[in-house]
Amino acid sequence: MSIEVALREEQTEATGARQNFPAIRVASVGKHFTRAGTRALTVLDDVSFSVALGSITAILGPSGCGKSTLLNIIAGLVAADRGSVLIDGQPLQTFVDWGRVGYLFQDDRLLPWRTAIENIALGLEAERIPRTERRDRARQALLSVGLAGFERMYPGELSGGMRSRVALARSLVKEPRILLLDEPFSKLDPALRSQMHLELLGIQAARKMSVVFVTHDIEEAVTLADRVVILQPNPGRVRTEIEIGLARPRLHGNPAMTAQMQALRQLI
């Protein structure tokens, strides 16, 4: 090991920062599923990409190309057959600090018998955090998504937009440094989706989170992402990666954005 490398590692340990590593590194990941009576289905084949610290990456591809499976593998919810995933330079197998990783599922998965604030606090219950602190942090998270005053409402009493904010707040309550989102706003109408995009971008910039979201929506990818990883189906492979260099906010109808979307459409 060179002196420079040794010094850098020492500094890294001293500051607790891991600036030398991407937030996420997916390397040659493969996954197949077997169903009784059918041939094995290869869902992901040799998928590799990196997510730079503090950046937003979109995984874009048609329905069924393995996006959710890939996100579940990154989140440690599904095991890959091949390859590896590193979070902050640590292999998934030994990674333990899941408080650092937030996950927003495609369906909001709110518990109907719990109020908004109780749903959000759920994320903190596994940890030994006192009840009052859990409540305070859940309230803060609810505030950060613009839902002050809705603490005691049940999911059944909330609109679709409010529910997705509660789900977003729940994924943020542990103040994750990495946020994974699976088509989070796909069920919202376009106006509400745009509003949620702006809120997510505001929160991401304020907290400098590294974000990975999967989508089949080209406009969503171009609106939010610094980098787009395009997946092609059968089996899911990375077709190409595109850097989106457009200034923010990226508004619907902006000519540069329209051109970028056109370019992506050619690639899918």
Ligand X SMILES: Nc1ncnc2c1ncn2[C@@H]1O[C@H](COP(=O)(O)OP(=O)(O)O)[C@@H](O)[C@H]1O
Determine the size of the site formed for Mg ion (CB under 5 A): 2
Nearer to Mg ion, 103 or 173 (CB): 103
The CA distance from 72 to 78, in Å, is 5
Q: How far is the CB of 214 from Mg ion (least distance, A)?
A: 6
Asked if residues 106 and 167 have their Cβ atoms less than 8 Å apart, the reply is: no
Q: How far is the CB of 187 from ligand X (least distance, A)?
A: 15
Neighbouring CB atoms inside 10 A of 97's CB total 11
- In the list Mg ion, ligand X, none, the entry touching 30 (Cβ below 5 to 8 angstroms by class) is none
Q: Using the rule CB under 5 A, is 69 a contact of Mg ion? A: no
Q: How far is the CB of 45 from ligand X (least distance, A)?
A: 12
Phi-psi region of 110 (alpha: psi -120 to 50; beta: other; left: phi over 0): beta
Q: How far is the CB of 63 from Mg ion (least distance, A)?
A: 7
47-82 CB burial, b ≥16 within 10 A, e <16: bebbbebebbbbbbbeeebbbbbbbbbbbeeeebee
Q: Using the rule CB under 5 A, is 68 a contact of Mg ion? A: yes
Looking at residue 236, the DSSP 8-state letter turns out to be: B
Q: By the criterion CB under 6 A, which residues form the site for ligand X?
A: 33, 35, 43, 61, 63-69
Query: H/E element holding 132?
Result: helix 131-144
Q: How far is the CB of 220 from ligand X (least distance, A)?
A: 14
Residues 6+ apart with CB under 8 A from 268: 60, 61, 62, 218, 230, 232, 239
Nearer to ligand X, 65 or 158 (CB): 65
Nearer to ligand X, 33 or 113 (CB): 33
Nearer to ligand X, 77 or 126 (CB): 77
Q: Using the rule CB under 5 A, is 210 a contact of Mg ion? A: no
68: β partners = none
Nearer to ligand X, 88 or 183 (CB): 183
Binding interface with Mg ion (CB under 5 A): 67-68
